[in-house]
Chain A
Amino acid sequence: MSKIKNLWNNRRANAWIFVELIIISIVTWIIADPVAVAISDSSMPMGYDHDRLLVADIVSLSPDAPGFDASRDSLDVNAADVEAVLMKLRNYPGVESVTIDKGFGLPGNESNTLDQLRSGNDAVDSVAGVVNVFYFHRGTDFFQTMGIKSVPGTPTAEQLSDVNMTLGEHVIITRQLGEVYWPGENPLGKKFLRGSKGEIKHMTVVGVVEGIKHQKPYRSYCAMFYNGDGLFDDQPQRAFKAVIRMKENLNIESECEQLAQWGVKQLTTGNFYLRSVETYDRFLERTVMSLGIPNQMKLRYILAGFFFVNLVLGIVGTFWLQTRKRMSEIGIRRTFGCTRRGIVGMMVGENILLATGACVAGFLIYWQYALRNGLDEGYVNNGHLNVVDNWVTHFGEHFAIISAIVYGVILICVIVGTIIPAINAGRVEIVDSLRSKE
């Protein structure tokens, strides 16, 4: 009560600080929201086991390159050479399984394809949305190699890798995508609707797997898998990626180096040679860079850090001056029985109250803005379907969490900004404090 009274008695000096803190709370909100959402989204699991994966980039000599063997450029021989490379990799010590990506097959790939769907027989009321599409090849252990788990009660990953699917007629979807179209139901056997009037086709769900994220900063776990057999087979393969799952308890970094050295000679088959090998984690980091998102995130972190440093310095400076102005009062209070700790408690307590009041006011102002313009959604765009049900997607929870973060940050700044000058002021001899003219 006495602290509120002190604040009120010093209202002229405190009014400016109060207004300053309101502005700071709003600006901190604007900066903290996207940073917190980006950190939250990035820390959400990818949804598949990528820790033990390597990616080998296999390319063919170009037809005009010296050493190109034109006799191995027929479709049959080319396909046999691709298979031979995969077989060599499968027989490499420590390899558990290998799958192939001829294009658009890998989560985290630089370029991915999207598809737009509707559910059911009538297209009128159903959800239409953009979904990431990945193409896999039957019989290449795709799901078990990628560590994508099937949903219990549906075909296993091993079964899905070998399932008989026709492009455009069958699809494997993530559980989260199923929840969008058929909430609370088992999506197995359900049909999607593709195309427009007059050319409507149905696509049956033949498998359901746990959700995967395409890129680390994304939040959507909605994705689907098409059988890409035949899709890339009308011309000789010039490049493909082999994804290699290593056995457990191996050092993935050193295995990657060893495989790279071994592969230079051993993987050269026909016109194919090993261009590079990297861990899947490195592959994900590199590909996400091409989207520019890490740079945006870095910029946000740098801005947030810069703002935070200035915030601390600004608040420390303001409260330092305020404390210096109260030296005489500090001397009087200590004369009449206040301890050094009491001085620190009084100053910190008053400023915490001031900051709390300012934050409440600032948050109420931002609340009005947020009601109209919404809160930060992270890197969910292009109409991607998203059914992640977490704090980011719930307005109230989102607002409360960011407000708590902002309040915490401001409180820390205020405490740091007050406690140092207050301790210093408490250390000054009482007689010197009393002599202070401020």
Chain B
Amino acid sequence: METIIKLSDINKVYTTKTIETQALEGINIEVRKGEFLSIMGPSGCGKSTLLNIMGLLDRPSGGTVEFFGKDLTGIRDKDLARFRNENLGFVFQSFHLIPTLSVMDNVMVPLTYRKGSRDRKKAVVEALEKVGLSHRVTHFPAQLSGGQAQRVAIARAIVGNPSIILADEPTGNLDSRMSEEVMQLLHGLNREGKTIIMVTHNEAQARDTDRVIHLFDGHLVK
């Protein structure tokens, strides 16, 4: 299958005035189209940092990040923003919904930054139908349960029809029943052809994915 993400010799160093912390070192990963990839490892091993670099939310200190065969390291903020908007969807552990916006407006956020995106409301309703929350469009995040909030976040991630979804511990703040619902949604999306990269602590969830990679102290161990 076609490689859509290629990370080569990725390093990430966090520098303060007094110390340098090596978060990632010599990471080489290839992600194939349609793959459901899990990233596992103990807390502080660099999982989220790696996901942020794969999601172009953070820049590596060294190495290259290629999407669809094109090196995106060092491209302009404007081009990076457009690439994220068109190709990537994000799901976070703490949902990251904007508390002052309704469900409708939260899900609409990615479409706001897309040129020529017409009939936004229709796309939002379709995304919400997919996660079973089309009846909650006027609600605000504070009025939702954790599971509902994460489903709204998933709807926001898919509303722009991106090919890749990055999920950072999407069930970390949910109980088992809600976690199950969210995982079903992600698997369903994967079946529809989306490439999914998920950071998780849950071995059972990881086992259900196509491939698991393990990180330890910033290194790829398996």
A residues within 8 Å of B by Cβ? Answer: 2, 5-6, 9-10, 328-329, 331-342, 429-431, 434
Task: Please state if B57 and A336 are interface contacts (CB–CB under 8 Å).
Answer: no
Given A5-B105, A430-B57, is A336 in contact with B52 using a C-beta cutoff of 8 Å?
Answer: no
A335 touches B98 (CB 8 A): no
Chain B interface residues toward A at CB < 8 A = 52, 55, 57-58, 77-78, 81-82, 84-86, 90, 92, 96-98, 100-102, 105, 109-110, 112-114, 156, 160
B113 touches A341 (CB 8 A): no
Seed contacts A10-B100, A333-B109; 12 additional CB < 8 Å A-B pairs? A2-B112, A9-B101, A9-B102, A332-B97, A336-B156, A337-B86, A338-B81, A340-B77, A341-B78, A342-B81, A431-B52, A431-B57
Q: Is the interface of A mostly helix, strand, loop or mixed?
A: helix
Alpha-carbon gap, A434 to B166, bound state (A): 15
From residue B160, how far is it (CB to closest CB) to chain A in Å?
A: 8
A-B CB contact pairs (8 Å), 16 listed: A9-B101, A332-B97, A332-B109, A333-B98, A333-B113, A334-B81, A335-B55, A336-B85, A336-B110, A336-B113, A337-B85, A338-B112, A341-B78, A429-B57, A430-B52, A431-B58
Q: Which residues of B contact A329 (CB under 8 A)?
A: 98, 100
Task: Determine which residue in A6, A333, A339 has the highest number of CB atoms from chain B within 10 A of its CB, and name it.
Answer: A339
Q: Which of A2, A333, A335, A339 has the most CB of B within 10 A?
A: A335
Chain A residues, Cβ within 8 Å of B90: 335-336
Q: A342–B80 Cα gap in the complex (Å)?
A: 13
Given that A5-B105, A431-B52 are known contacts, is A337 also in contact with B100, CB under 8 Å in the complex? no
Chain B, residue nearest A13 (CB): B100
B96 & A9 in contact (Cβ 8 Å cutoff): no
A9 partner, pick from B57, B78, B81, B100, beta carbons under 8 A: B100
* Cα distance, A429 to B60, chains bound together (Å): 12
Are B114 and A337 in touch, CB under 8 angstroms?
Answer: yes
Shortest Cβ-Cβ A-B pairs, 10 listed = A337-B85, A337-B113, A336-B110, A9-B100, A339-B81, A430-B57, A339-B78, A336-B109, A329-B98, A431-B58
Contacts of B102 in A (CB 8 A): 9
Q: Which residues of B contact A429 (CB under 8 A)?
A: 57-58
Q: How far is the CA of A22 from the CA of B26 in the complex (A)?
A: 58
Partner of B110, one of A2, A10, A337: A337
Task: Output the least CB separation between A105 and chain B (Å).
Answer: 72
The chain B residue sitting closest to A9, CB to CB, is B100
Complex interface: chain B residues within 8 A of A2 (CB): 112
Assess the A336–B100 pair: CB atoms within 8 A: no
Question: Which chain B positions have C-beta within 8 A of A334?
Answer: 81
Query: Are A337 and B98 closer than 8 Å at their CB atoms?
Result: no
**Shortest beta-carbon distance from B1 to chain A in Å:** 27
